[in-house]
Amino acid sequence: MTSRTETLDAQKFPGFWVRIASAVVDSLGFAFVTSALLFLFLHFSESLSTEALLQLFLFVWFPGSLVASVSILAFLNARGRQSLGKRLFGLVVVDQRFQPVSFRRSLLRTIIDCLLIGLSFLLIPFTQGKRGLHDLSSGTYVIRIRPPLRRELLIAVAALICTVGVESVAVEKLQHHIRKYLRSFYLPSTSMEPTLLRGDYITADTRWARTSEPRRGDIVIYESPKEEGRLLIKRVMGLPGERISLRDSVLYINGAPLRDDPGVYRGPRHSSMNIEPVEIPQGHYFVLGDNRDNSFDSRNHGPIPRSALHAKVGIVYLSVGDGYFIRWDRLGRLVR
């Protein structure tokens, strides 16, 4: 390649929309890689427990797909190679001497761009050599290795529209498929304290509702019998055919006190917290919040049918306190 001073010419550098179109087309690669890894992951998940499924999703699939996507894109743009978007517009990544970049430098610019979620491209219209922040930080340029295509701007706009359209459909279908296995929820109340805190973001196993029978102690997500569409999070405490009652902060199953009851009674004992003996119908479950003094549960709406159960809660993946601070000690915690 020629020297830097000879090539620092506007004709050598793609414009803003071409760079954006190239990056968006490259993002298709991310979509395909992450989708393939997800389908592979879910294919082998049928025999996994809820805890194992959610741990693998959060700590294996999620970081693994991100690392794989970034590494593949960095590899395709290193040593004179071209990713899909670069090949479409005849572009290549070079260093400040206008030589092909190493994998290490290509990886650095890709990671910076991912961390900035594409915002680095906003600098391109204002920098010499049409460089984004990821290029400035990693000491790279993106240059043309062939003359611009005729009507290149129209091609770039068409590529943007097509890619965004394909990714929108793919993301919608992917989300629909994921929801058959996993969903995330936000906890806005204190009804499950101290097990779950207000501000917890949790992952739940929706596959469980199709493949497993609820057990005592499972924390489940179900639809409220009193409000259609409203989802509640409580703990299964009474099983079909059992007789359940609550007197003086003691939970009884078939007349015997329940050992290791996770319920917490913080306020004064009063009759409204008690449960007169209830016979749980077949196919129904009696659910209670762990914070027994402040929970809307089967004491209010009665036992819930099996068909109302949507998912089993598994892991806290984020927790934000009232002062918008992150509770770091709760991240990745198994919910039991």
Percentage of residues in the chain with pLDDT exceeding 70?
Answer: 95
Residue 237, pLDDT > 90, answer yes
Q: Do 311 and 220 meet the contact criterion of CB atoms below 8 Å apart? A: yes
197 and 301 both lie in a single domain: yes
15 and 158 both lie in a single domain: yes
31 and 148 both lie in a single domain: yes
Total domain count, the chain: 2
Amino acid at 318: L
**CB-count exposure of residue 159 (10 Å: 0-12, 13-18, 19+):** buried
Distance CA(186)–CA(180), nearest Å, equals 18
Higher per-residue pLDDT: 256 or 168: 256
106 and 187 both lie in a single domain: no
Active-site residue among 234, 295, 298, 319? 234
CATH of the domain at 313: 2.10.109.10
Residue 266, pLDDT > 80, answer no
Residue 137, pLDDT > 90, answer yes
Residue 272: the pLDDT is: 57
Q: What is the pTM of this model?
A: 0.73
Per-residue burial over 105-126, b = 16 or more CB atoms within 10 Å of its CB, e = otherwise: bbbbbbbbbbeeeeebbebbee
Tell me which residue of 285, 245, 249, 244 sits closest to 264, measured CA to CA: 249
Q: How far is CA 281 from CA 13, 311, 312, in A?
A: 72, 21, 21
Q: Is residue 12 annotated as part of the catalytic site, yes or no?
A: no
What integer best gives the mean pLDDT of the chain? 87
Can you give the residue range of the structural domain that contains 68?
4-178
Question: Binning pLDDT at 50, 70 and 90, where does residue 91 land?
Answer: very high
Residue 112, pLDDT > 50, answer yes
Dihedral through CA 201, CA 202, CA 206, CA 209, nearest 10? -120
Least confident span in 36-50, 60-74, 253-267, 285-299: 36-50
Q: Do 38 and 85 meet the contact criterion of CB atoms below 8 Å apart? A: no
Contacts of 126 (CB under 8 A, 6+ apart): none
Q: What number of other Cβ atoms are within 10 A of residue 129's Cβ?
A: 19
Q: Do 91 and 20 meet the contact criterion of CB atoms below 8 Å apart? A: no
93 and 241 both lie in a single domain: no
Q: Is residue 191 annotated as part of the catalytic site, yes or no?
A: yes
Distance CA(314)–CA(59), nearest Å, equals 13
What pLDDT, in 10s, does the model give residues 296-308? 999 989 999 999 9
Give the residue-averaged pLDDT of 265-276: 69
Question: Binning pLDDT at 50, 70 and 90, where does residue 6 land?
Answer: very low
Question: Binning pLDDT at 50, 70 and 90, where does residue 106 land?
Answer: very high
Tell me which residue of 197, 112, 160 sits closest to 16, measured CA to CA: 160
The 3-state DSSP class for residue 49 equals coil
Higher per-residue pLDDT: 42 or 212: 212
Residue 92: the pLDDT is: 95
164 and 277 both lie in a single domain: no
Distance CA(60)–CA(70), nearest Å, equals 15
What pLDDT, in 10s, does the model give residues 183-236? 899 999 999 999 999 999 999 999 898 888 999 999 999 998 888 888 999 999
Question: Binning pLDDT at 50, 70 and 90, where does residue 37 land?
Answer: confident
Residue 133, pLDDT > 70, answer yes
Residue 5, pLDDT > 60, answer no
**CB-count exposure of residue 276 (10 Å: 0-12, 13-18, 19+):** exposed
Residue 36, pLDDT > 90, answer no
16 and 163 both lie in a single domain: yes
32 and 173 both lie in a single domain: yes
Residue 169: the pLDDT is: 80
186 and 321 both lie in a single domain: yes
Active-site residue among 65, 83, 191, 295? 191
Higher per-residue pLDDT: 4 or 166: 166
Residue 287, pLDDT > 70, answer yes
79 and 217 both lie in a single domain: no
